[in-house]
Structure formats: C-alpha cells, structure tokens
Structure 1
Amino acid sequence: MPPLRLAIEGCYPSFQSTDLVMRILGVLCSYEIVHRSQPHDLLIRGPFSDGSSKRRIVNRLLGTTNRFLGRNQPVRLHVSSENPFSENYQDFGQSGCDFGLGHEIRHGDVRYQRMPHWWNYVDFAAQGVPSPDHWVRLGEPLNQGQLLRPLQWNRNSQTRAAFVTSYLNSQRRFLMEQVNRVLPVDGFGRAFDASISDHTRSGFTKRQLLTGYQFSLCPENAIAPGYYTEKVPESFACGTIPIAYLDKYSSIDFDPRAFLNLYDYLNEGVASGLQRDLLSRRRMDELASTPLLKKEIGLDQLIAFIKNVLDCARAF
C-alpha cells in the first residue's frame, strides 16, 4: 500500500514532531508530508487554518485550483489543542472539517473524539505509542503512575508557590496578586525574565525548579469547557500542590480534591478562599492523599477513531 499523502496547515510549529495525533499516525500507517497544493488523501487542519482573511483567500484559491484540476476533496481532520480565545481561532463546528480531535466536549457527535491538550505530554509507550525525543519544558514525559497515586508532596521544600509563565495578562496578574497575599509567589519564565527568548530556552526544566517548592501557581490560559493543558498534571507530578484556575468541567479529567482551584473562590474572594483551605487540616490532608487521575487513560477509542479517519481517507 502506498504511503498516505498528508497535508498539514494551521498547526503549531512542533506539531509534526510532538503531537499525539502524529505519533499515533506513525504507528498506524506510513505517510509522506506534502504541500496543500499537491494531491493529498488527508488534510489536518489546525484551529487557525481558515481564521484570517489572508488564509481564507489562499484556501479559496487552492480549492478553485483543485476543482479545475479535477482532484477529489481530501478527508479533512480538525485538530486543536490551542487556546479557544486566541485571535482567529476556529472550533470544530466552524472549521467545516469531516472529523475533529481536540479538547471540546461534544457529547454524541460521532465525527468528533475528545483528546485533551495535556495528553500530548503523557508517556504512552506502554500502549505502543512512542514519545518525542525531547521534553524541553518538563524534562521528561508525564508518567501515569505518578498521577494515579497520591501526591508525593515536597513537604520539606519552601512554603511558597512557583509561577512559571511566558506572559502575564490582567487575569494572571490578578490571580498572582491574590495568591501572594496568602502565600509568597516566585515568578519564573519569560514574563519575569526578559533575557529568555521563549519558553523552550528558559535554562531550566519544571522538574528541576518545582522540586524546591511546596506549591505551584498554574492558572489555565483560558476558561473554556474541556480546555485543560499540561499545567496541573505537571505541577502534581513534580510534587507540588497545584493552585489552578479551571472551570467546573475540569472534573472530566482531574479529581477536584487533588488541587486548589482559584475559580472556586471567586464569589467569596480569591485570597480569603485560598487562605481558608490552606488553614484547613481536612483540606490539606485531602490534597496529600488524593490522586489527580481517577483512572488510567486508555487510547483504544482514540486509536479506533483515527483508524476510521484513515480508512475514509484511503477510500477517496
């Protein structure tokens, strides 16, 4: 069987080498990456592939060219693990794609399979899916065993919170200020050190840094149902109590008893709510004894979904 002809557009720069979708594709089939202007069987479209006016013009021109040349429409797979409030972002429904993979919660939609962003950082080698060669920010992949057992808390480290981030918007600054009223916060990353060019060149890994702290301030990039990145599981795996900012749907992935959620304190006041929990023996015992995950992540459904997408692409 000839290799699958695969075109990719609108995805983040390291998508081909790190994304879980690409790693599973590499297990299921042989493929060659081709430009969108060439004939292809499968088109993977990121959330920004048709969001800007320039991209829409280019896409229309390519569509016209393909029709003129009599080419079949490829199967289109929307893949997104990006901030849904980013400029020009398109979700699965807006993308016009045949199938979708990503963080969205879409019950009953057989054309869509949920694959939360943070799965990209998990070691699935035991399930036959290889990991990337390098894990620049964390230092090594997330091990499910660490997330399925109670927190290995850095009890003897500083009673402070580390905050690793590349940018500070008004929301993050507010949360940091509120936490700092109760618990000292130390900032790291490009947002606090202008000499760091980007988050892959910080000069430290999270595992190295967080071992010196009891807590990690790790607010999400945005509040959106199902959108949960690596921040909470990485903090947990490094032995810190995550001080997160997630919506109420986060229990679909994580046990809410295993981390402190600033979102829960909005009505009473972030600082006062956090202080109450930090002073609660019951809550602190709960944090130290509750695994982050309620069950192991199985990839069977995800792999079966991608196999179906490949079958459809081959049929064309």
Structure 2
Amino acid sequence: MNSSPGVAEAVVLCFQSVNGSCPRIVYSLALRVPLYLVFSLVIMLIIIGNLLVICIIVCSEHLQTATHHLILSLSVAGLLLGSLVMPPSLVRSLETCWYFSNAFCDFHSTADIILCNTMVWHLTFISIDRYLAVSRPLQYQNRTSHRVCVAMVVSSWGLATVFGFAITLSNPEIKNKDDFHKVCVGGCFALHAKEIGVEYSIIFFFVPVFIIVSVYSRIFFIAQKHSKVIHNYKNSSKTCAPLVTKDLKATKTLAVVIGNFLFCWTPFFMCNIADPIVHHSIPAVLYEVLLWVAYLNSMFNPLIYAFFYSWFRKTAKILVTKLLNGL
C-alpha cells in the first residue's frame, strides 16, 4: 500500500479482537497532535463566541427584537454544535474510528443533522425577516410581534428536528454498498451515508438556499430604491428614513453572515451531489475535511458580529470587564 505524508503504511482495525471491526487509518503523531490542538482551539472559540453572543442579546433590552431573537437562537445552535457534536467528531476524524457506544452514535448523528439543519432554517427566516424590514419598514415595526418571532424560531427547530429523526430512523448505513462505509464495529457514518447524499443535500441545503438567494435578490432591488430615500433625507419623512438606514445596515451585515454560511457549507454539499456521478469514488477523508470546513461557520459568525456591530463590541467589553472585576 502506498503511504501518503503523515499516514502510516499499515491499516489496522478499530478493535483488533472483534470480528467485523472497521478498518482504521493510523495517522502519525506528527500530524495528529497539531490537528488536535488546532481543532480544540476551534471548538473553544465556537463555544466562547456563541456563548458571548447569547449573553449579550439576553442582557441587552434594546436587542429584544425579532432579528436578534433569531440570532440568539442561531447562536444556541452553534453553542450546542461546538459543545455536543464537535468533540466526538474530532476524535472520530483523527482516530478514524468511533470509540463510543452505538447509542451515542445515534444521538451524535441525529444532533449533528438537527443542529446543522436548524442553522439553515434560521438563516432562511432571517432573510425573510430582513425582507419584511426593508420592504415595509414602518409596518415591520408594528407587525413583527413576539408571536411571529417565536413562530420563526420554533419552525426552524421543528423542521430540523423532523428531518434529523427521519434520517436517523431510516438507518441509512444499511443502504451503503461500498467497503469503507459498510456497517461495522467502530463506525459511525450516518451523516455521510452516500446512498442518501443527493436527496439529503437537496432537502437539507439547496431548497433553503434557493429561498435565501431569491429573497436577498429581491432585497437588493428594494435597497436600490431605498437608497434614494437616504440620499434625499432632508426631503423625506424623518420617521421613515432613519428606519430605512438602520434596516439596510442590518441587512448588509446579515448578508455577510449568510455569505459566510454558503462559503463554508457549499463545498460539502456539492461533494455529496458529485459523489454518485463519480460512482462514489470520493474518499471519506475528503468528506471529513469538508465537514470541518463547514463547522467553521459557527466560529466565524460571532467574529462577523464583532466586526460589523458596534453594540456587540461595546456590550462585550462591558460584560468582560464585569466578569474580570468579579474574579
């Protein structure tokens, strides 16, 4: 067997004394140790960053709006992804085996799908919220009630939960035909089941993305019209123009958030779409790499808020100061 850099020549089993054990690719310590450190740092940044976003929104009365509640719920999903899903994924990716129980594999796979999918639906509803804010700024302030906000959040989690359990309960691993992804002891590949790759990608990713892109395309044309209101501020309504300016700024920032999501997640789902076309020849390690690129989305979001939102920086500074003074 030809070895690649950082990979030992011998391919051993996850459990040497167990019949039907999955094969294990043994990476060298020179490769594993730096990756463990880097990925652990990523996980810590995801947890700390999303926890900070949650604390800031909860503690700030002026941020109790529909948009910020959606951001809050999105950050909760990012926090849970970083704390519950990514640590076991780190071990599985670098050890190439699942050393936890089968029951935890089912929980991990379901949680992974639900949390990633709920992020997609949160961004979908955020785009709809931004469309309402930009297209009807005055009506938006009056009509976007707490009930509407709760409905968006519940729908995001509800759709993701139904889809996540549907994937897990269908037991997709049984449908796999290739040797590496077959059902074996020490394997947990539910998220990467290739037989459901196309359907999974379309429902999970491309349908919501089509909605997001369509809505933001409409927002772009509306924003061009509203820019005239801003330039003619002295001749426009003093009530409407500030609202338009504020909503357009928020919309641009959230467009960056959505662009970041597309940048991180699109390669993974394009790989899922392409895999059947190339007769399932895409190596499993590429799936792992692209999945970790997708996970980085949860780390970038708090950084985007810190860069674009002055209220985020000011409130974060106050919270950190209080925390340090209390220690």
TM-score, structure 1 as length reference = 0.24
Greater strand proportion: 1
Structure exhibiting the larger radius of gyration computed from Cα positions: 2
**Bigger relative contact order, structure 1 or 2 (CA pairs below 8 A, ≥6 apart):** 2
Greater helix proportion: 2
